[in-house]
Amino acid sequence: KHLANLLVSMYAKCRSMGDARTVFDDIREPNLFSWNILVSAYAINGDFHGARAVFDRMPEKDSVSWNTMVTAYARIGRIREARKMFEAMPQPDTVSWNALLAGYAQNGHLLEAIELFKKMPDKDVVTWTTMVTGLAENGYLDEARRFFELMPTPDVAAWNAMVAGYAQAGCLIQARLMFDEMPAKNTASWNSMINGYFQNREVEQARSLFDAMPRKNSTSWNLMIAAYAQRGHLQEAREVFDRMPDKN
RNA sequence: CUUUGCCC
């Protein structure tokens, strides 16, 4: 049954809702995990009506079920619906608060996000990074920085959000300073900085970072190829493509 | 085995 649940989840992530549903329907006695996975499956594929239908029909719910629905509405910008879900929850946990917070932040409602942030009974590293990201990507870099500096223990994601925010605003020097000062980098850190250079037409800088990065993931490769192609450098795009190890 | 934040 764990395997069947995993299968449903995997099909959903591959956007194969038909297969996901078929596997689910063949599960003898779906447990709470199975139901939650099915709700999430519809949500991932943008079908919040489907998600809602399953949610209303499932025999029992836990906070994961509720949180999945909050997220499903928040992601597509239906904040009022997300909020209604949140308010109907018996016991909202930090994930619930964070999901709603991300809904506001991702849809550009920063004032409401700040308001909600202040009301939160518990804050974790996700709470803080959600704020940093939301502020930074909407151009409120000074505010983002303030939140970042107030974070008890900024993790890589928070650092990356600041790097991406500065880069997106065209502040490559600041972005690079933070990139260099990061206590630990992951592949997303490198990708953020490289993407920043490309967005600001610093093709050579982007290229040398790409060549220097210790590990590349599919985003790294796609980034380089797309950026070269967009700028009309079809020969280098092709050359990078040919060097890519797993072309699938 | 399922839900929230960073690059795409």
Query: What's the complex ipTM?
Result: 0.97
What pLDDT is attached to residue A136?
Answer: 97
CA distance A206 to A165: 17
- What single-letter DSSP state applies at residue A77? T
DSSP class of residue A108? Answer: T
A138 CA, B6 C1': Å apart: 15
Strand B proximal to A200 Cβ, under 7 A: no
At residue A194, the pLDDT reads 98
Q: Say which nucleotide is closest to residue A134, CA to C1' distance.
A: B5
Residues of chain A under the 70 pLDDT cut: none
Q: Using an 8 Å Cβ cutoff, are A166 and A178 in contact?
A: yes
DSSP state of A214: S
For the whole model, what pTM was predicted?
0.95
A229: CB within 7 A of chain B nucleic strand: no
Q: How far apart are alpha carbons A27 and A66 in whole angstroms?
A: 22
**Residue A1, pLDDT score:** 94
What is residue A239's predicted lDDT score, i.e. its pLDDT? 96
Whether A1 CB is under 7 Å from strand B: yes
The confidence score (pLDDT) of residue A30 equals: 98
Q: Residue A133 has what pLDDT?
A: 98
Distance between CA atoms of A58 and A50, rounded to whole angstroms? Answer: 12
> Is the backbone of residue A77 left (phi > 0), alpha (psi -120 to 50) or beta?
left
Task: Please give the pLDDT value at position A102.
Answer: 98
